[in-house]
Structure formats: structure tokens, C-alpha cells
Structure 1
């Protein structure tokens, strides 16, 4: 059983007991990871692996879009929604075309989203 595996237990507990902010960081870190795996799969001509990982990255951004409160967040939230939407569209394009150039365009943007949320988390926790 997976729970007998110490790593699986740790991973399960880290998600179970994470704060909302920590879960958000895990999501955006996952998006970066899946996008990079998808990019490498394009290079390796592994269509299935590419598709699976780009869909995972897209799904993370769909989740971020679904949970973003645009009314409460104002202009900043609207700008983030536009960025999320752009990323999803570019991931879709890259997946359809199996185009590494599109991935080279979108991965830095996904990393910037991750960095933005990491910085926001640090500021909210007063971490240097």
C-alpha cells in the first residue's frame, strides 16, 4: 500500500496539512514541472507524455482561474485572469502543434506566475 511508503506518507501529509497559500504554491510549482516535462516530451517526440503533462499544466491554470476572486481582487485579479487565460491558450497551441517554440515562450511566464505567488506568500508571512 502506498501509505507504507514513507515518501508517500510525507507527500500525503504535506498536502493534507498545507495552508491555502501553501497549496497554491504547490499548484504553481506543479504547473512549472508539468510544462517542462511536456516541453521535453515534445523534443523526445513522446506525444502521449507531452499531451498528459500539458493537460496537467492547463488543469492547474483552470483551477487557479476558478478560484480567483476577480470582484474582490479588482484590477490585479483581472490581470492575473488574463495571464492565466493566455497561458492556457498557449499550452493548448503547443499541445496541438507539438511546438517547442511555444513552450519556450510560455514556460518563463509560468515561472513568473510561480515567482509572483512565492513573493506574495513571503510578504504575507513576513518572510525574507
Structure 2
């Protein structure tokens, strides 16, 4: 499966690559929410929660770093601020702890942004590429 995903990323258009990053960040945050809601506090689950939050922060850092501030203008500036706010929240959650509701709000923001990028992809490339394997 990793080879499949790697191939998808390498052969995707740039907009689809952004969408795939959003999907992975959302998945990571949802993993952390699931662990938090189950109240699992054993070492392995706490470690898994922090790893999931860390992966989400890494993805947001990549998304922020790849913004072209010159060409992107106001949109790039706004995205940069959103990504930074989400990264700051993840750092705070990692240090201080928090309720899953905060992470759920972050997931909502990322899903909304992902939908916007999907609309961009449809406009530029027509039919969106398949992001999950056909069954």
C-alpha cells in the first residue's frame, strides 16, 4: 500500500498533492481524537496520540513552507496564518493537553480547506483524481 500511495503522490498534479497532504493531516488528527475519546492513557496510546499530533504538525509545516507568497498574494498570506494558528494549537495541545473538541475544530478547518482545493482541482483539471484505491 505504501508503494501505491508513493506512486500516487509522485504522479499527482500539484493541487492533488496538496489535497493528499490535507487528507493525511485529517487522518492523523482523527487518530488523536479517537485515542482521546476512548480515554486510553496507557503508554502506547499516549505515544500514538502524540505521534499523530506530531505528524499533523509536520504536514502543516510542509503546507506552510510550500506557499508561494509572491504569486499567492492575499490567499497565500491567509493560508500561512491559518497553518500557523493550527500549528500553534497543536504545540499547545501537545504541551498542555486539551479536549478532543479543539482538535475536532481543527479537522473541520482542514476539511473545509480540502474541499476548496478539490474545487480548484475540478476547475483546473476537470474530473478529480481518485484519492483512494478502487475496490
Same fold flag (TM > 0.5): yes
1:121 corresponds to: 121
**Superimposed CA distance per residue, residues 14-39 of structure 1 (whole angstroms, 9 cap, x where no aligned partner):** 22322222221111110110010011
- How many aligned residue pairs are there? 122
1:125 deviates by 1.4
TM-score by length of 2: 0.80
What's the counterpart of residue 88 of structure 2?
89
Asked if 2 retains the 8 angstrom alpha-carbon contact of 1:38 and 1:50, the reply is: yes
Q: Indicate yes or no: 2:66 matched with 1:73.
A: no
Aligned to 1:3: none
Q: Which has the higher helix share?
A: 1
Deviation at 1:76, TM superposition (A): 1.1
* 1:25 paired to 2:19: yes
CA distance in 1, matches of 2:57, 2:5: 22
Higher relative contact order (CA 8 A, sep 6+): 2
Counterpart of 1:4?
none
* Displaced runs of 4 or more, over 6 A: none
Structure 2 match to 1:37: 31
Q: Counterpart of 2:10?
A: 16
**Over the residues paired in the alignment, what is the CA RMSD in angstroms?**
1.8
Unaligned runs of 5+ in 1: 1-6
**Normalised by the size of structure 1, how large is the TM-score?**
0.84
Distance 2:90 2:9 in 1: 26
How far apart are residue 10 of structure 1 and its match? 2.6
Match of 1:62 in 2: 61
Structure 2 alignment gaps of length 5 or more: 129-135
State whether residues 87 and 110 of structure 1, in contact with CA within 8 Å, keep that contact through their aligned partners in structure 2.
no
Deviates more, 1:80-89 or 1:101-110: 101-110
Change (3 A) 1:13 1:93: same
Q: How far apart in 1 are the matches of 2:66 and 2:55?
A: 17
Change (3 A) 1:127 1:18: closer
